[in-house]
Structure 1
Amino acid sequence: MTQSHPAHPEAVTFPFGRPSPFEPPERLASLREERPVTPMAYPDGTTGWLVTGYSAVRAILADPRFSSRRELLNVPVPFPLMQEMRRPADPGMFIRMDPPDHTRYRKPLTAQFTVRRMKQLEPRIQEITEERLAAMEKAGPPQDLVREFALPIPSLVICELLGVPYADRDEFQRFTAVLLNLESSVEDIRATIVGFGAFFARLIEAKRADPADDLLSGLITSGELTDEELSNVGFLLLAAGHETTANMLGLGTFALLQHPDQLAALRADPSLIDNTVEELLRYLGIIHVGPLRAALEDVEVEGQLIKAGDPLTLSIVAANRDPARFSDPDHLDITNPATGHLAFGHGLHQCLGQQLARVEMRTAFPMLFDRFPGLRLAVPAEEVPMRDTMSIYGVRELPVRW
């Protein structure tokens, strides 16, 4: 279990709050330069570690001596259900498990998210994107790009892939918003967990009676998972499948509009889209709290001894801006190779849906800017509301006109 050490005299608190929409907390850069594995004080009084250097973060993500088991982890910012996290993850919540439990749940899903399978989805993703663009054009400016474009596209795609009725999107998007908000009350979180469970219970019952050609029906008919496991696996895929890509589409559009030289370079050379997607993933850092790990035994990382039981917070945002790995990392440059970034994690917990996210972004960005070559913000940039209190960072709204 997590150990409570005496407060380390050099322990920092987790740097939170960005000076501008595209800049990480300034303290992360100085910590990365001074001490990439540094003692950190957690809100409950525990002392653990904040890891900011690229090589250290990548090594820990690949090392089985660091656990993802929920009962061992600690959250670096105040969180209302802290004590309830100190128990094993519910059946099916495989992202908070280690092998062999993690392997048992993830293995049957891996074949559904291969590069080949995602390429097969590309025509449908193009259709969905075209439908959203046509609806935006018909409605006329100004429009909120998040509501009309960035959120519907990945939501529709993951709904079709899983077999979740898109008509229920308001319900599951409301649930997800509560669970990802670091400031949600205990009462709201508990009610949302119950609501999400009931949502999937109804869906599983309907699919068991009338299975279709979708991922959830396939899992049900395989008979390998209980209803509770099916519900939790479905929740993970549904929440991750629309929230992360939606925020990349919204924040990525904001970034390109604020860097007109980069947008002009992409328009001049559409073959740069693959690199643009990777550079945006590296530069923007929507996972701004975590991932979290805990040491299963004493391990030395870059000269620092981490004791068994110590909790760790790995900063993907800081790692992806590490000048030891990326040249001129604080500048957005779509012509620079951004391979090797950690936006999707690394190791056995690397994002299952990363290829789907890539296809969605490679499709949506060019189609958006081709349809609306005069796309621009409808409000001053400083008035764009950001998701500062959410565990997944992005824009709450992106008012645009054309």
Structure 2
Amino acid sequence: MTSTAENSTAPEFDIARAPGCPFDPAPAMRARQKDGPLTRVRLWDGSSPWLVTGHAAHRALLAEQRVSVDHSRQGMPRTTQGSPDTMTDDEMQQLMAMLQDSSVPGLSFILMDDPEHARLRRMVTGTFGIRRMEAMRPAVQRIVDSFLDEMLAGPNPVDLVEAFALPVPSLVICELLGVPYSEHEFFQLHSKAIINRTSTTLQRMEAQIKLGEYLDSLIDEKLTNPGEDLLSALAERVKAGELDRKEAVSMGVLMLFAGHETTANMIALGTLALLEHPEQLAMLRDTDDPKLVASAVEELLRYLTITHGGLLRVAVADFELAGQTIREGEGLIVVNETANRDPAVFADPDRFDISRDARQQVSFGYGPHACVGQPLARMELQVAYPALLRRIPTLRLATDLDKISFKHDGFIYGVYDLPVTW
């Protein structure tokens, strides 16, 4: 088990970033990394799971078959207090009522182990294949240009999050899934509740129910009137008996919220990082080399690492990792942001350099559970950053850096708003 007497003095798990250093990993996480690639930390409930901070250990653990992503397993780390085992009796009764009154979608295959994980993942992998994403590039370019047209014709200053960073990936994922963009305010609202670290279990469950009910109604429509979109493809699999209805809904919910929240935060936070590094911004703005654009995106992914707070695993058998024996039932927290700043892999890791080879970055995870939508995210970012910087070459912040509100409370890091002018 992860809660053991000998580890009761382990340092606290703390992902708070230092004031004035919004792009850097938490000082506590960097300190643990200096202690070694694999150490113990103490959680709020007194348990002491392993903390994986080194790049090599990170990749080895995420490729390890003797760990589980199933959050219902005994020993899985609970990094926040909004888990069912901390609920009051009244809250538990409300939760049970929700479960009885609605077909609640889960987070699909991302919290499943093989073989079910592999079976479900295969059903969407082709949709996000590199060739198909490249074929979408002209359409994404048109979407990006249309929002930039509106932004340039509108008020100045403007919040880049609301005017550009959030609507671009929202519209892209809507078109890919077959979801009406007119409903974007609805699904953005409930997506935020799911990924906010301060949301209670009931709030997350309610958001998942509402998104699930909405996607379920859309699948109904696709069953009778299919189109050339992912929800139609899932509906066909339901009709063929390859998926049950709840599995299809869960996959739709996952693709909808993950497909816009992550990329939206990367567009906004990446733009801020570029504005704070004007020489790097100029290199990206002025280049015609697609390889440098791709390199810049990899470096932004490495440098910023918006997946915030660690990936959670629990050992289902004993195995060795970084010279330590991980026992069955012990939990592990895998920290992307420190792996991406590992000096053994990235020279001068705290320096932001879009010309560096950052292809070993692990912001999308690694191994069988690596982000299935990463080809889409990469392509969107490769389109969005150059278009924004070239169309608005005088882009600059309309406020001071210390006045920007960062998402320290989210599982996905970013900014709540980004006032810019030109």
- TM-score (norm. length: structure 2): 0.91
Q: Which moved more, 1:40-49 or 1:294-303?
A: 40-49
Query: Structure 2 matches for 1:338-353, cutoff 5 A?
Result: 338-353=358-373
Secondary structure, aligned partner of 1:400: strand
Q: Which moved more, 1:188-197 or 1:388-397?
A: 188-197
Counterpart of 2:221 in structure 1 is 206
Deviation at 1:140, TM superposition (A): 3.0
Question: Over residues 66-116 of structure 1, what are the superposed CA-to-partner deviations in whole Å (9 max), with x where a residue is unaligned?
Answer: 21122126345323124399xxx9667100111100011001111111110
Equivalent-residue separation in structure 2 for 1:155 and 1:388 (angstroms): 22
Equivalent-residue separation in structure 2 for 1:158 and 1:208 (angstroms): 20
Say if 1:82 and 1:42 are closer, same or farther in 2 by CA, change over 3 A: farther
Secondary structure, aligned partner of 1:47: coil
Equivalent-residue separation in structure 2 for 1:332 and 1:237 (angstroms): 30
Deviation at 1:39, TM superposition (A): 1.2
Question: Over residues 124-167 of structure 1, what are the superposed CA-to-partner deviations in whole Å (9 max), with x where a residue is unaligned?
Answer: 10010011000000103111101111111111111111111111
Question: Over residues 280-324 of structure 1, what are the superposed CA-to-partner deviations in whole Å (9 max), with x where a residue is unaligned?
Answer: 000001012111111111112111111101111000000000001
Equivalent-residue separation in structure 2 for 1:204 and 1:268 (angstroms): 44
Secondary structure, aligned partner of 1:305: strand
Equivalent-residue separation in structure 1 for 2:208 and 2:40 (angstroms): 33
Counterpart of 1:238 in structure 2 is 256
1:192 aligns with 2:192: no
- Contact in 2 for aligned 1:42/1:74 (Cα 8 Å): no
1:57 aligns with 2:52: no
Secondary structure, aligned partner of 1:28: helix
Counterpart of 2:80 in structure 1 is 78
Counterpart of 2:98 in structure 1 is none
Aligned partner of 2:353: which letter? D
Equivalent-residue separation in structure 1 for 2:28 and 2:189 (angstroms): 33
Counterpart of 1:29 in structure 2 is 30
Equivalent-residue separation in structure 1 for 2:107 and 2:266 (angstroms): 26
1:396 aligns with 2:421: no
Say if 1:75 and 1:142 are closer, same or farther in 2 by CA, change over 3 A: farther
Counterpart of 1:136 in structure 2 is 151
Secondary structure, aligned partner of 1:121: helix
- Contact in 1 for aligned 2:107/2:253 (Cα 8 Å): no
Say if 1:82 and 1:290 are closer, same or farther in 2 by CA, change over 3 A: farther
Equivalent-residue separation in structure 1 for 2:283 and 2:174 (angstroms): 34
Secondary structure, aligned partner of 2:156: coil
1:314 aligns with 2:334: yes
- Contact in 2 for aligned 1:76/1:313 (Cα 8 Å): no
1:263 pairs with 278, 281, 302, which one?
Answer: 281
Equivalent-residue separation in structure 1 for 2:153 and 2:129 (angstroms): 36
Equivalent-residue separation in structure 2 for 1:397 and 1:91 (angstroms): 29
Equivalent-residue separation in structure 2 for 1:109 and 1:158 (angstroms): 13
Equivalent-residue separation in structure 1 for 2:375 and 2:156 (angstroms): 32
Say if 1:90 and 1:311 are closer, same or farther in 2 by CA, change over 3 A: farther
Counterpart of 2:42 in structure 1 is 41
1:154 pairs with 159, 165, 169, which one?
Answer: 169
Deviation at 1:268, TM superposition (A): 3.6
Counterpart of 2:269 in structure 1 is 251
- Contact in 1 for aligned 2:105/2:208 (Cα 8 Å): no
Counterpart of 1:360 in structure 2 is 380
Equivalent-residue separation in structure 2 for 1:182 and 1:297 (angstroms): 30
Counterpart of 1:93 in structure 2 is 108
Equivalent-residue separation in structure 2 for 1:144 and 1:95 (angstroms): 32
- Contact in 2 for aligned 1:92/1:228 (Cα 8 Å): no
Q: Which moved more, 1:216-225 or 1:94-103?
A: 216-225
Name structure 2 gaps, 5 residues minimum.
Answer: 88-103
- TM-score (norm. length: structure 1): 0.95
Equivalent-residue separation in structure 2 for 1:43 and 1:228 (angstroms): 33
Aligned partner of 2:328: which letter? A
Equivalent-residue separation in structure 2 for 1:219 and 1:138 (angstroms): 39
Equivalent-residue separation in structure 2 for 1:123 and 1:4 (angstroms): 52
Equivalent-residue separation in structure 2 for 1:100 and 1:241 (angstroms): 24
Question: Over residues 160-209 of structure 1, what are the superposed CA-to-partner deviations in whole Å (9 max), with x where a residue is unaligned?
Answer: 11111111111111001111111123442232222122111211112222
Equivalent-residue separation in structure 2 for 1:281 and 1:203 (angstroms): 33
Counterpart of 1:284 in structure 2 is 304
Equivalent-residue separation in structure 2 for 1:75 and 1:134 (angstroms): 46
Name structure 1 gaps, 5 residues minimum.
Answer: none
- Contact in 2 for aligned 1:28/1:52 (Cα 8 Å): yes
Counterpart of 1:145 in structure 2 is 160
Deviation at 1:7, TM superposition (A): 5.2
Aligned partner of 2:260: which letter? H
Equivalent-residue separation in structure 1 for 2:78 and 2:353 (angstroms): 31
Aligned partner of 2:79: which letter? V
Question: Over residues 368-393 of structure 1, what are the superposed CA-to-partner deviations in whole Å (9 max), with x where a residue is unaligned?
Answer: 01110000001111111101100000
- Contact in 2 for aligned 1:7/1:46 (Cα 8 Å): no
Equivalent-residue separation in structure 1 for 2:200 and 2:34 (angstroms): 36
- Contact in 2 for aligned 1:125/1:157 (Cα 8 Å): yes
Counterpart of 1:376 in structure 2 is 396
Equivalent-residue separation in structure 1 for 2:197 and 2:149 (angstroms): 35
Secondary structure, aligned partner of 2:7: coil
- Contact in 2 for aligned 1:7/1:45 (Cα 8 Å): no
Question: Over residues 25-72 of structure 1, what are the superposed CA-to-partner deviations in whole Å (9 max), with x where a residue is unaligned?
Answer: 112222112122111222222221111011111100111112112212
Counterpart of 1:225 in structure 2 is 243
- Contact in 2 for aligned 1:17/1:25 (Cα 8 Å): yes
Equivalent-residue separation in structure 2 for 1:139 and 1:398 (angstroms): 16
Aligned length: 398
Say if 1:278 and 1:246 are closer, same or farther in 2 by CA, change over 3 A: same
